Structure 1
Amino acid sequence: MQNLEDDRRRAERFPLSIDLKFLLQGRHEATGMLLDISETGLALLSETQAEEGDDIVVYPIGLGRLAGKVVRAFDGGIGVQFALAKGQREIIRERLAAVLGGVPYMRLSEKRTSFRIRYNIDTHARIEGQDKTIACTIKDMSKTGCLLKADSQPPIGAEVTLGTLRGRVVRHIENGFAMEFHSAAAQAGAPLPPRQHTA
């Protein structure tokens, strides 16, 4: 069990906004959006509720069938731990590497130079130092950040937790704010993948 926990901590998580379908307990079909993914698990946003321990099969566009267990249910989403063989994990690792290297395995948004995927998903953001969460709506999301519609605006630079993603407020917009994600690679002190330039 300890080795599994160590693997989960070492696995780098990447923010990816991809449409998906999933199956709960082998019978409840639902849709959602991928929030982030590693070779050991993922987080997704969905209005469908799940409970810890539920069997789940997720089908993100471009990644095929990913089976696992619900390990966490947060407001507006689900955390999943994969139950995959070593060979299947290696395939996920290769596909993630391909995306970050610029190979179009999946739609991966690039900051400003590429499209941001538009959504209209209600969720809650937790602001560091505040007891209450902020009700907000994800308007669009990219690899590096998202735009949130909200009644209140945290200060510029405030630390924000959105599901399993952490980041900071970088600007205010009318009726909301923009959040920039903290890169898992940057937090670990590793170099970030090279930025891909569009024509």
Structure 2
Amino acid sequence: MFTFRNAPSQSRPMPMHGFQRVSVNMPGRLMLDSHEEYPCTVTEMSPGDVVMTCVGAPVEGERIIAYIDHLGRLEGKVLELNNTGFVMSVIATGRKREKLAAQLIWLANRHELGLPEDRRHDRLSPRVTRAELTLEDGSRYPCRLVDLSLSGAAIDIEMRPKIGSPVMLNHLRGRVVRHFAEGVAIEFASIQTRESLRAFL
């Protein structure tokens, strides 16, 4: 089983905060300070920093917001540039770092053991992330799609409807089933198809 070690790795330099990086392959999207958005891929990660490949060209010290499959929203600053992308710090609370460490350990162990994801339906890769959440009283709030499957979605939003609240994500009816650090998780009222989710895909 994979575990994080605080001792330096002999095979690669130690990243910031004394965490060992994990080799991963997680797609996502990032937004630069200019609000330009680009697809990206995380190739290595620790709870303290992230190595990304991306066609977008940030500058050293630039603030980055990224939405990564499996991990959700990450925020940080560009530490260094390389030929294919850059290294980004992870700005997070101690609690968030602990959560990231647990997620990375799970991902590494799942990869080593060949375990499937603990999901009822496959994750889809949304190309459109901007959306709108409508509450039962008709009030509307802009939000950002973090995660999407045929049975539900996770959205980045500041307000927190109560768990169990009926909502509409664009035209899709559902209910709030979970709160997390960046927003809420929604379970759709019925299982969707790729066709019914085409607005996001």
Shorter-chain TM-score range: 0.3 to 0.5
Normalising by structure 1, we get a TM-score of 0.47
Larger RCO (alpha carbons 8 Å, 6+ apart): 1
| TM-score where L is the length of structure 2 | 0.47
